[in-house]
């Protein structure tokens, strides 16, 4: 081969596979009701008559499994929801791009913004716990919002280590003090009006446990192996705020991230300890692995101090929620039933499966303690029957106005331990679109 031929070959651009939507069923030779069939320039997707979004997501997963790194969605029929379903299936823990969106309906830019926000959350959740300390989580979340928000619209406060106890944020401090890497509370203020007296329309609170060993209530290996994902709530609300900003959020919003590593050491918190919170509530520790609610309690009180009429928290909080709704749904809890009904509608509109589980004021009494106002759980495996509702009941002690304007998302669908026909292993981003929609709609209505 001559030098010129060699240079021509090395400089050529690889041909990008074209992915189109077929209008007819696949030929029988490709199998009964085949989802994919080859075309001259790529592949055709033959969507099922029912559940077409899941069919599209499955097609994306199948193409990723072939080792394809880049493709273009081409031809007609690509709605925004179909493109997003394909993207969700095609992504994996090491690849958040490679999809050329179809701009037939002028939606490619919106989809790119959506992918940017999901990519941030997924990368953060999939990062190793060594890479992502509590302070690093807070700093990276702030940096991401600053890249999205208009210049001058973001300010923040970061409190770390023993300064948390000095400031009265005892839950975050106690959970995180066993680690050599200090716990942190990030309070980020998105204030697009840039006016000090602008009212705070909403506050987002995220659980940011960057690694959860369970503490002295130590997890078994199989339960601990994926606990890098226990900061999924913090990543979710950060990405939701970013997405809402790209979609035109004009109201002031506080982002509150409660970040800590739950580790064992000579300085770790212990069973039998009692934490006294800012609002005077005393909590006996009967399970150091029920730490998420302890840090969220601080975050919810911080949100209440902002006087925000809407408070949304998100957390990978309980295994009980996963037992109840499985890995395809997030669980929703609220004492404000009209707000809960609207939130479920936002989730349905955004194609994010969400199910409301029971929460009443009496759930506050479901973790009794003879030594304090409440225990942080029940001293039985998994927190006992109704564990997800009892955890939500614990959180409800720390929100204002008897829960009016408060939503709690237990993110059962935020992470997959292993791949399946629809999702790669790792973070999913499930819940980001719902929370962003709630922000945009609820703050505008007020």
Distance separating alpha carbons of residues 141 and 123, to the nearest angstrom = 12
Enter the DSSP assignment of 92: B
388 closest CA partner among 318, 289, 337 = 318
123 is catalytic: no
429 closest CA partner among 247, 256, 236 = 236
Distance separating alpha carbons of residues 247 and 251, to the nearest angstrom = 12
Token readout for 108 is 């490619």
Distance separating alpha carbons of residues 63 and 85, to the nearest angstrom = 13
Note whether 34 and 46 are within 8 A (CB).
Answer: yes
SS3 assignment, position 274? strand
Measure CA 387 to chain center. 21
Distance separating alpha carbons of residues 381 and 376, to the nearest angstrom = 13
Sheet containing 154-160: order of strands = 154-160, 184-190, 252-262, 200-212, 311-315, 406-410, 330-333, 354-356
Token readout for 121 is 């959350």
Distance separating alpha carbons of residues 115 and 216, to the nearest angstrom = 39
433 is catalytic: no
Catalytic: which of 25, 146, 219, 278?
A: 219
Cα end-to-end distance, the chain, whole Å: 71
Catalytic: which of 293, 378, 397, 433?
A: 293
10's CB contacts (< 8 A; 6+ apart) are: none
Distance separating alpha carbons of residues 192 and 194, to the nearest angstrom = 5
| Block residue for tokens 């707000």 | 339
Give me the active site residues, please: 219, 293
């Amino acid at each position: 081969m001559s030098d010129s031929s060699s240079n021509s070959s090395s400089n050529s651009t690889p041909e990008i596979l074209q992915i189109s939507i077929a209008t007819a069923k696949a030929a029988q030779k490709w199998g009964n009701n085949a989802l994919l069939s080859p075309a001259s320039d790529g592949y055709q997707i033959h969507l099922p008559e029912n559940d077409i979004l899941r069919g599209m997501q499955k097609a994306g997963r199948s193409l990723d499994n072939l080792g394809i790194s880049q493709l273009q969605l081409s031809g007609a029929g690509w709605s925004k929801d179909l493109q997003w379903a394909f993207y969700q299936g095609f992504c994996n823990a090491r690849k958040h791009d490679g999809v050329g969106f179809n701009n037939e309906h002028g939606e490619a830019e919106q989809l790119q913004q959506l992918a940017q926000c999901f990519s941030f959350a997924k990368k953060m959740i999939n990062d190793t716990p060594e890479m992502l300390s509590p302070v690093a989580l807070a700093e990276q979340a702030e940096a991401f919002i600053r890249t999205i928000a208009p210049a001058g619209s973001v300010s923040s406060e970061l409190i770390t280590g023993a300064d948390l106890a000095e400031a009265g944020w005892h839950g975050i401090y106690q959970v995180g003090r066993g680690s050599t890497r200090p716990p942190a509370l990030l309070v980020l203020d998105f204030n697009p009006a840039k006016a000090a007296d602008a009212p705070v329309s909403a506050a987002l609170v995220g659980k940011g446990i960057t690694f959860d060993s369970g503490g002295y209530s130590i997890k078994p290996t199989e339960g601990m192996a994926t606990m890098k994902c226990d900061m999924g709530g913090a990543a979710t609300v950060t990405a939701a705020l970013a997405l809402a900003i790209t979609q035109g959020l004009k109201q002031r919003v506080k982002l509150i991230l409660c970040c800590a590593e739950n580790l064992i050491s000579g300085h770790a918190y212990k069973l039998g300890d009692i934490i006294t919170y800012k609002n005077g509530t005393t909590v006996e520790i009967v399970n150091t692995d029920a730490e998420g609610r302890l840090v969220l309690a601080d975050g919810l009180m911080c949100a209440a101090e902002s006087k925000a009429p809407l408070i949304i928290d998100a957390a990978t909080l309980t295994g009980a929620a996963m037992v109840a709704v499985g890995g395809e749904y997030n669980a929703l809890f609220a004492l404000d039933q009209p707000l809960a009904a609207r939130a479920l509608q936002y989730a349905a509109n955004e194609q994010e499966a969400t199910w409301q589980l029971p929460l009443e004021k009496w759930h506050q009494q479901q973790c009794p303690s003879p030594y304090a106002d409440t225990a942080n759980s029940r001293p039985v495996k998994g927190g006992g029957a109704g564990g997800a509702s009892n955890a939500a009941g614990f959180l409800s002690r720390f929100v204002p106005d008897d829960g009016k304007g408060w939503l709690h998302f237990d993110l059962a669908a935020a992470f997959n331990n292993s791949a399946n026909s629809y999702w790669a292993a790792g973070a999913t981003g499930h819940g980001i679109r719902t929370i962003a929609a709630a922000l945009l709609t609820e703050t505008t209505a007020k």
